[in-house]
């Protein structure tokens, strides 16, 4: 089984990495593919450039062979729709291999507003990762979808290529990229929330530091 963790990764942090490891071990996945999106569909565009987000992912994933950096969304024009990404993964891995889309509870709350969600479920399982402060079944429609598709055991995912929903308990780390960007903007170092190599890169590139209007060139 292959786990797929899509995201903005602006920047990648220990919440992502620990969640991926908990899923890898808890579901006996062969690998987790980290898939940075190029153009976000449901949110503002990232502050870091694509090259900077990639550099941070490379630094974070360097010593974990089961974590694979998957650049396929970056090579495609237009918005990054998960359905298209899954079609491309199916072409590469074939129709039988179970694919598990790992999404945080916050992302699952909006799942029915994604582009063609039921077609997504034809191509992959959904693994909903519990996340502090987010109710995974925030609406009756999501609860209904879950009840129709529920899988209690990783074995049930392994038995088919896609179509099921499993709730995965994780080490609960209340870390988000938003919080990290806010800390930096306030002049505070977000140490211990993300790998040192990523923090070093952020500081070298002066990422997420608001430009000081007093020092920027006048028009």
* Shortest separation between residue 108's beta carbon and ligand ATP, angstroms: 8
Does 9 contact ligand ATP by CB under 6 A? yes
Does 20 contact ligand ATP by CB under 6 A? no
Does 8 contact ligand ATP by CB under 6 A? yes
Q: Which stretch binds ligand ATP (CB under 6 A): 13-21, 27-35, 74-82, 197-205?
A: 13-21
Angstrom distance (rounded) from CA 60 to CA 21: 13
* Shortest separation between residue 38's beta carbon and ligand ATP, angstroms: 13
Residues 161-200 that bind ligand ATP (CB under 6 A): 170, 173, 175-178
CB 197 within 8 A of CB 60: yes
Cis bond leading into 11, ω under 30°? Answer: yes
CB 149 within 8 A of CB 163: yes
Q: Which stretch binds ligand ATP (CB under 6 A): 62-70, 98-106, 138-146, 148-156?
A: 98-106
Q: Which stretch binds ligand ATP (CB under 6 A): 8-16, 24-32, 81-89, 205-213?
A: 8-16
Site size toward ligand ATP (CB under 6 A) is 19
Which residues fall within 8 angstroms of residue 76, CB to CB, at 6 or more apart?
38, 84
CB 28 within 8 A of CB 154: yes
Residue from 3, 98, 104, 162 touching ligand ATP (CB under 6 A): that is 104
Question: Radius of gyration over alpha carbons of the chain, in Å?
Answer: 18
Helices and strands of the chain, counted as H and E runs: 9, 6
């Amino acid at each position: 089984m292959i786990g797929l963790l899509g995201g903005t990764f602006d920047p990648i942090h220990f919440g992502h990495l620990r969640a991926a490891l908990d899923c890898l071990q808890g579901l006996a996945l062969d690998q987790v593919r980290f898939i940075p999106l190029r153009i976000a569909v449901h949110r503002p565009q990232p502050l870091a450039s694509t090259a900077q987000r990639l550099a941070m992912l490379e630094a974070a994933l360097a010593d974990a062979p089961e974590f694979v950096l998957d650049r396929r969304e970056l090579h495609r024009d237009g918005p990054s729709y998960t359905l298209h990404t899954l079609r491309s993964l199916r072409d590469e891995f074939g129709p039988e291999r179970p694919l598990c889309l790992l999404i945080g509870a916050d992302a699952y709350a909006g799942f029915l507003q994604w582009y063609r969600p039921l077609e997504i479920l034809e191509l992959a399982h959904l693994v909903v990762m519990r996340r502090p402060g987010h109710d995974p079944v925030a609406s009756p429609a999501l609860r209904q979808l879950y009840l129709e598709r529920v899988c209690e055991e990783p074995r049930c995912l392994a038995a088919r290529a896609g179509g099921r929903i499993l709730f995965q308990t994780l080490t609960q780390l209340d870390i988000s990229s938003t919080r990290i960007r806010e800390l930096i903007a306030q002049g505070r170092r977000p140490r211990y929330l993300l790998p040192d190599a990523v923090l070093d890169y952020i500081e070298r590139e002066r990422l997420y530091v608001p430009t000081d209007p007093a020092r920027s060139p006048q028009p």
